[in-house]
Amino acid sequence: MGSLLHQTAREIRQLPTTIAKIIGGTMAAIGFPGAIGVVSHGREPSVATVATLVAAGIAGVAVFVVASRVSTKRAAPNLEPPSSQKDRRRMSMVAWGILLALAGIFIAATYLLAG
């Protein structure tokens, strides 16, 4: 059980950089395609609109890269012996449970906001 707690604490320590990577990736995924969409579908897009979207994309890439490097430096080396199959299965179940809970929250929020 101590290994599970240690692994969970290590994952929680990585959470801020993981969230920063998600935010950076989202900014890039919205900024660059948004600029392309505005330029190709707009009648006459303003320079400020296109520049803002491109800047958001560039900032997103920068945030992602910086968070990734910080995450790599912050990660403590794994000095523990390999965990047992039971511990790995338990951690996998915890990770899948968190993923399914977040997916459920996203679906519920989408349903409530959509109508």
Reply yes or no on whether the pLDDT at 115 is more than 70: no
The SS3 of residue 86 is helix
Cβ neighbors of 38 (< 8 A, separation 6 or more) are 45, 49, 50, 53
The mean pLDDT value for 35-59 works out to: 90
Q: What does pLDDT average to over the chain? A: 85
Against a cut of 0.75, is the pTM above it? no
77 or 65, which is more confident: 65
pLDDT of residue 58: 96
The mean pLDDT value for 43-67 works out to: 93
- Burial code (b: 16+ CB inside 10 Å, e: under 16) for 24-38 equals beebbeebbebbeeb
Cβ neighbors of 70 (< 8 A, separation 6 or more) are 17, 20
Model pLDDT for residues 75-114, shown as the tens digit of each residue: 766 656 667 888 778 878 888 888 888 888 988 888 888 8
Distance CA 91, CA 87 (A): 6
The mean pLDDT value for 22-35 works out to: 92
8 Å CB contact between 70 and 49? no
6's tokens: 């240690």
